């Protein structure tokens, strides 16, 4: 357990941060939390009409204007007042909803900081929610997972964890360990009497069964599994094959230069596209047959990762014969460019693994998009959504608990005494309590919060 002075450092401050996404938008949000949140937000706020002052509000909203800057510029604002301990953070919390101008939002934050608020650190709002018992550690992780979700499957998984699914599952394992531990400790209490509460064979079976269930959890794939949303789609092939034209067509705008000059694309160009509610990164690469310097070749090698999905762009001229290489991966998709230059009746039969397309006429583009959407959907169905965010910390905890239970089983079978069995059961329970945050340390909390953005 961490010392209270370390965990609660700065907890008494009133914190402020922009909590809406970066950049311009229809609406921006500035968030405060702490004992002085309402007081500080009330400074410079002018309610409309007969609306109550912010300090008189409990769980209510108020429309008005907020004055910023030395020139006294007023901006329209809707203020949400959420009193602790029922707020997300467990403290008095205020949100200012304003026009989404980055400059305006920064000015508001600056005014509030000069009034006495402190700029929040990454994840500090969520950290306070945890420290005040509003959420457990699995839910804190789910907040970050929801923010960073790049597909519908990941979002659903994160929302399930946020709703407490993961915590309830861990607690159910913990309850089973607690029941076993209670039997052991009761047996120890009556050790001076001729009473056997723990039946050795049945007790060992229970330990082994539970250990195996936790071992299964520890070996399941998790957040380090590279799903489609975390892989790049590389358009590869010879120079002038049509990679850049397809890149622009799928991106919906001209990012890459298209030219008849060979080797026009000399570096990687990346853009984000959305397919089946999933954000994917599309990459245009230099021609595979374009000879550059050794430095260029090494740079391309380092940029290409094993998990990247390569789409091979080829050009088949009229009257030529062509077939797939036997060495080519059977799951490779070939996109055959310049379909507008080869009449359908003259196109060689390249099989189901090839898609003819023309960036000029649009032929085949919908089929390419549908093919990509099918890959995304299959990837989502092929993974257990509940385990998308089962990261190394969770698998380590399940593995530790399983190992402790197996030691307990060995100690029980070997007649080493129930005292040693009890020690191992306490260790197994501790491993699971660390996952939910029933027991935690500064290091664990910092590791979880370091991936958060400021304002969350």
Q: Has residue 448 been placed in a domain?
A: no
The per-residue pLDDT for 194 is 58
Interval 183-201 mean pLDDT? 66
Asked if 219 and 339 sit in the same domain, the reply is: no
Asked if 364 and 415 sit in the same domain, the reply is: no
Q: Has residue 117 been placed in a domain?
A: yes
pTM of the predicted model over 0.75: no
Asked if 64 and 180 sit in the same domain, the reply is: no
Asked if 375 and 233 sit in the same domain, the reply is: yes
- Residue 327: pLDDT over 50: no
- Residue 302: pLDDT over 50: no
Asked if 232 and 367 sit in the same domain, the reply is: yes
Which is higher by pLDDT, 139 or 6? 139
The per-residue pLDDT for 71 is 67
- Residue 81: pLDDT over 50: yes
Q: Tens digits of per-residue pLDDT, 401-451?
A: 999 999 999 888 877 778 888 899 999 999 999 999 888 777 777 777 776
Q: Tens digits of per-residue pLDDT, 94-104?
A: 999 999 889 99
Identify which of 19, 156, 32 has the alpha carbon closest to the alpha carbon of residue 453. Answer: 19
Half-sphere exposure of 311 (CA within 13 A, CB side): 27
Count of C-beta atoms within a 10 Å radius of residue 351: 9
- Residue 452: pLDDT over 90: no
Rounded to whole angstroms, how far apart are CA atoms 49 and 287?
A: 66
Asked if 378 and 232 sit in the same domain, the reply is: yes
Which is higher by pLDDT, 336 or 406? 406
Q: Has residue 450 been placed in a domain?
A: no
Number of domains making up the chain: 3
Q: Has residue 417 been placed in a domain?
A: yes
Long-range contacts of 58-65 (CB under 8 A, 24+ apart): 58/83, 59/83, 59/86
**Domain of 123, in residue numbers:** 4-132
Please state, for a pLDDT cut of 70, what percent of the chain lies above it.
Answer: 73
CATH of residue 284's domain is 3.40.50.300
The per-residue pLDDT for 57 is 87
Asked if 308 and 393 sit in the same domain, the reply is: no
CATH of residue 80's domain is 3.30.1360.120
Asked if 344 and 398 sit in the same domain, the reply is: no
Q: How far is CA 201 from CA 185, 208, 410, in A?
A: 17, 11, 12
Asked if 170 and 248 sit in the same domain, the reply is: no
Q: Has residue 429 been placed in a domain?
A: yes
Asked if 21 and 36 sit in the same domain, the reply is: yes
Q: Tens digits of per-residue pLDDT, 209-238?
A: 999 999 988 887 654 455 555 667 777 777
Q: Has residue 48 been placed in a domain?
A: yes
Interval 70-77 mean pLDDT? 80
């Amino acid at each position: 357990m961490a010392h209270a002075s370390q965990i609660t450092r700065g907890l008494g401050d009133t914190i402020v941060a922009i909590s809406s996404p970066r950049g311009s938008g229809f609406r921006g949000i500035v968030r405060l939390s702490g004992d002085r949140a309402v007081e500080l937000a009330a400074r410079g706020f002018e309610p409309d009409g007969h609306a109550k002052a912010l300090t008189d509000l409990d769980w209510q909203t108020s429309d008005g204007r907020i004055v910023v800057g030395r020139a006294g510029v007023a901006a329209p604002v809707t203020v949400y007042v959420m009193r602790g301990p029922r707020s997300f953070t467990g403290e008095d919390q205020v949100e200012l909803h304003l026009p989404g101008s980055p400059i305006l939002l920064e000015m508001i934050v600056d005014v509030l900081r000069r009034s006495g608020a402190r700029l929040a650190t990454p994840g500090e709002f969520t950290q306070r929610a945890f420290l005040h018992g509003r959420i457990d550690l699995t839910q804190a992780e789910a907040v970050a997972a929801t923010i960073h979700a790049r597909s519908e499957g990941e979002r659903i998984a994160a929302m399930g964890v946020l709703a407490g699914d993961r915590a309830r599952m861990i607690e159910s394992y913990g309850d089973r360990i607690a029941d076993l531990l209670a039997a052991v400790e009761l047996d120890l209490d009556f050790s001076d009497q001729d009473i056997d509460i723990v039946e050795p064979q049945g007790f060992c079976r229970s330990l082994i069964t539970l250990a195996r269930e936790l071992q299964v959890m520890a070996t399941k794939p998790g957040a380090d599994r590279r799903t489609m949303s975390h892989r790049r789609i590389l358009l590869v092939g010879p120079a002038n094959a049509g990679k850049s034209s397809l890149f622009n067509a799928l991106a919906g705008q001209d990012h890459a230069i298209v030219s008849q000059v060979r080797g026009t694309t000399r570096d990687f160009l990346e853009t984000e596209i959305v397919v089946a509610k999933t954000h994917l990164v599309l990459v245009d690469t230099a021609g595979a047959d374009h000879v550059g310097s050794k430095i260029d070749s090494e740079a391309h090698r380092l940029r290409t990762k094993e998990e990247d999905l390569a789409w091979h762009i080829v050009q088949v001229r009229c009257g030529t014969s062509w077939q797939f290489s036997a060495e080519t991966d059977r799951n490779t998709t070939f996109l055959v460019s310049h379909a507008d230059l080869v009449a359908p009746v003259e196109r060689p039969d390249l099989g189901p693994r090839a898609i003819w397309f023309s960036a000029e006429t649009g032929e085949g583009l919908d089929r390419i998009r549908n093919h990509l959407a099918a890959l995304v959907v299959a990837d989502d169905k092929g993974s257990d959504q509940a385990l998308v965010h089962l990261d190394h910390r969770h698998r380590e905890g399940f593995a530790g608990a399983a190992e402790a239970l197996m030691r307990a089983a060995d100690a029980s079978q070997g007649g080493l005494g129930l005292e040693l069995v009890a020690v191992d059961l306490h260790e197994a329970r501790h491993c699971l309590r660390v996952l939910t945050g029933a027991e935690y340390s500064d290091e664990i909390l910092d590791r979880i919060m370091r991936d958060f953005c400021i304002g969350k």
